[in-house]
Amino acid sequence: MKKHNFNAGPAILPSSVLEKASQAVLELESTGLSILEISHRSKEFVDIMERARDLALELAGLTGKGYQALFLQGGASLQFYSTALNLLEHKGAYIDTGTWSHKALTEAQFVGNIDIVASSRDNGYRNIPTSYTIPKDADYLHITTNNTIYGTEYFEYPEVNIPLIADMSSDIFSKEMPFDKFALIYAGAQKNIGSAGATLVIVREDILGKVTHKIPTYLNYQVHIKNQSMTNTPPTFAVYTCLLTMEWLKKQGGIKAIEAKNKEKARILYEEVDRNPLFKGYADIKDRSRMNVVFNLTNESLTDRFNTLWSEAGINGIKGHRSVGGYRASIYNALPIESVQLLVDVMKHFEKTV
pLDDT one-digit tens code per residue, 167-217:
999 999 999 999 999 999 999 999 999 999 999 999 999 999 999 999 999
Q: Which of 20, 100, 139, 265 is catalytic?
A: 100
Report the distance separating Cα 300 and Cα 279, nearest Å: 10
Torsion angle of the four alpha carbons 156, 162, 168, 172, in this order, in degrees rounded to the nearest 10: 70
pTM value surpassing 0.75:
yes
pLDDT, position 322: 87
Helices 99-108 + 75-87 axis angle, to 10: 40
Catalytic residue, candidates 20, 175, 191, 265: 191
pLDDT tens readout for residues 259-304: 999 999 999 999 999 999 999 999 999 999 999 999 999 999 999 9
Domains detected in the chain? 15-251 (3.40.640.10), 254-353 (3.90.1150.10)
CA distance 276 to 297: 10
- Long-range contacts from 30-35, C-beta under 8 angstroms, 24+ separation: 35/236, 35/237, 35/240
pLDDT band at residue 254 under the 50/70/90 scheme: very high
User: With the CA atoms of 138, 199, 257 and 159 taken in that order, what torsion angle do they form, in degrees rounded to the nearest 10?
Assistant: 0
pLDDT tens profile 224-246: 999 999 999 999 999 999 999 99
At 47, the pLDDT band (50, 70, 90 cuts) reads: very high
The whole-angstrom separation of Cα 63 and Cα 57 is 5
pLDDT band for position 323 (50/70/90)?
Answer: confident
167 is catalytic: yes
Active-site residue identified among 20, 96, 139, 167: 167
Task: Give the model's pLDDT for residue 167.
Answer: 98
Per-residue pLDDT band for 1 (boundaries 50, 70, 90) equals: confident
